A = this chain, B = another copy of it.
C-alpha cells in the first residue's frame, strides 16, 4: 500500500550547495541552497529567490562558486542557511569560514569546503532560475583517492533530508553504474 503526501518539493537525494559570490565591493558572501542540480552538460542550475544577497551579488559579478557541503562543516553550512547576508555583512567570518579568489571565475572559493564548482553566470532563465556554466571543478588533495580523483568517502558530502530537515552523509557504494544492469540484458 502506498501513502499519498500531496504536492511537495521532496526528493532524495537533495544537495547541500553552498553558493558564493562577490558583491560590488569585492566582499564575499554565501548561502545554503538545496534546489538545484546539473542542468545540462557542464551547466548547473540553482533556484535562488530574488531577495538573497547572493542573488544580487551573482547578478552583479556574473559568476559564482558552488561548494559541496561536507559532514565536517555541517554547522557552518547550516549557519549560512539560517543567517542572511542582507543583515550580517560579516556572515562568512562569523561562520568561521575563509575565502580565496577562484582560479577561473570572479567568485570566492570557501577554503574550508573541500570541493567547489566554479561557474560563470550563463543567465537567469525564463523562470528566473540561475544557470551557471561550469568552467572548473577543484578539490582539496585531502579528499582525493589513490587514483587522483575525488573519493566520495573522503569528501563526506552531506545531503538535505527535506522531510525531517536533517542533514545526512553519503554512505557506501552499493553498485556500479552502466555495468550492474547488464546482468539483466
A181's partner among B78, B160, B184 (CB-CB below 8 A) is B78
List, in ascending order, chain B residues with CB within 8 A of A136's CB. 4-7
List, in ascending order, chain B residues with CB within 8 A of A125's CB. 125-127
Q: Is the CB of B181 within 8 A of A79?
A: yes
Q: Is the CB of A174 within 8 A of B168?
A: yes
Q: Contact mask A125-166 → B, CB, 8 Å, 1/0? A: 111110100111111110010001110100101111101111
- Chain B nearest CB from A46 CB (Å) reads 9
A185's partner among B83, B137, B170, B181 (CB-CB below 8 A) is B83
Q: Is the CB of B38 within 8 A of A139?
A: no
Give the number of copies in the complex.
2
Q: Contact mask A7-22 → B, CB, 8 Å, 1/0? A: 1111111110100000
Q: A residues within 8 Å of B by Cβ? A: 1-15, 17, 34-45, 47, 66, 68, 71, 74-83, 94-96, 103-104, 109, 115, 117, 125-129, 131, 134-141, 144, 148-150, 152, 155, 157-161, 163-185
Chain A to chain B: the 7 pairs with minimum beta-carbon distance, closest first: A37-B37, A171-B171, A78-B181, A79-B181, A74-B175, A13-B13, A12-B157
- Contacts A4-B136, A12-B157 known; 14 new A-B pairs at CB < 8 A: A5-B137, A7-B136, A10-B150, A11-B37, A11-B117, A12-B115, A13-B15, A78-B181, A79-B181, A83-B185, A96-B184, A166-B173, A169-B172, A171-B171
